[in-house]
Every structure is written in structure tokens, then in C-alpha cells.
Amino acid sequence: MNKINKIIIVTLIAIAIAATAFGNGNVNVTNPATRPVPVTTTGAVASGATQKSGSSGNVANASAAASLAAVSGKTNYITGFQCTASGSTAGLAVNVTVTGLIGGTATYSFVFPVGVLVAAQPLTVNFTQPLKASAANTAITVTLPAGGAGNTNAAVSVQGFDL
């Protein structure tokens, strides 16, 4: 095996290890002979990480909030969240917030449609790289504001891990 082939193999191994450490899903690395080298990392989290999730449960015309609870000596990371709801009497546009993040609050738009039996378009956010909490022992919370008069269903779920 020549020096270039050894460098290529070491590079492929490094990519596979990095993909596994960050849990990026399925990765296909192509070597110089264009032969795919499958590296499966679905569901993998970094060594020592604890997966976690939170849910608001169903609320009616009230804020729906879901959190990744703070853990002493550990830092939270959010990997994604979902907001679902039914409509309201008049319809309403609101701002979903994600607090506790390094760099400050993230804001997303959500619309409760007109009609109490009309389903809202779900807001599903999956981060390609997990977002870190602003500090150790800090919760990350996703909040969907109240939907207004006639709103009977709203819920938020959040996923992530601590390390």
C-alpha cells in the first residue's frame, strides 16, 4: 500500500469517527476509486451524552412550552422541535421562541389558521448541527404562544441531549 492510499484510509476513518461523534445520520464517503464507503451513525450521540426530550402536552388557548431540563454540571444541546395546533376563531400569527441558547433567543413564525377545527401547518425544525445552551446547567425551552379565542389544541415537543 503506497503513502497516498494510507492517507486516504486515515482520512476516511477520521470522517467516520467525526460523523459518529456528532450523530449526523447516514454518511456516504466516496474513495478515489468511486466506491462508496457507507458509514451509518443514525441515532448515535457523543460518548457520555444523554438523550432527552420534553413535551408541553395539549393546551387550549394558552402558551405551550417544552423544555430540555437543566442538569448540574452538564450542557444541553437541542437537535429539533415541533409545534402543532388547531386553528382559532379569528386566526393568529405568533412567534415561537427557543430560549437558553448560546447567542440568544431564536424566533420562528407560526400561524393559527382561521377556524377552530382547521389544522395548523406544523412547524418542524431539525438542526443539522445541535445548538448549544448558553451555559452549563441551563434549560433550553421552546414556547408557542396562545392561539387566541376558540383555540382548543396546541402542543410543543423538543429533542436533544446533555453532555
pLDDT tens, position by position, for the chain (163 residues)? 555 545 555 554 555 444 444 444 444 444 444 444 444 344 566 778 999 999 999 999 999 999 999 999 999 999 999 999 999 999 999 999 999 999 999 999 999 999 999 999 999 999 999 999 999 999 999 999 999 999 999 999 999 999 9
Residue 34 forms part of a structural domain: yes
Segment 66-91, tens digit of pLDDT: 999 999 999 999 999 999 999 999 99
Q: Do 147 and 112 contact (CB within 8 A), yes or no? A: yes
Does 60 map to a domain? yes
- Which residue range(s) make up the domain with 100? 50-162
The answer to whether residue 45 sits within a structural domain is: no
* pLDDT at res. 54: 97
Torsion of CA 130, 69, 125, 27, to 10 degrees: 30
Length of the chain: 163
Same domain for 77 and 36: no
Dig out the grid coordinates for 155 from the structure: 402542543
pLDDT at 68: 98
Question: Does residue 113 lie in a domain region?
Answer: yes
* Pair 67, 114 in one domain: yes
**Whether residue 156 sits in one domain with residue 110:** yes
Q: Are residues 121 and 92 in the same domain?
A: yes
The number of distinct structural domains making up the chain is 2
Cα 61–Cα 161–Cα 10 angle in degrees, nearest 5? 145
- Return the pLDDT at 46: 73
State the pTM of this model.
0.73
CATH number of domain containing 73: 2.60.120
Q: Do 68 and 137 lie in a common domain?
A: yes
Please indicate, yes or no, whether residues 9 and 83 belong to a single structural domain of this protein: no
Which residues in the chain belong to E strands, given as ranges? 26-30, 36-40, 50-55, 64-68, 76-85, 92-99, 106-112, 123-132, 140-144, 154-162
Considering the domain architecture, whether residues 27 and 76 belong to the same structural domain is answered as no
Q: Is residue 99 part of a domain?
A: yes
Same domain, 90 and 144: yes
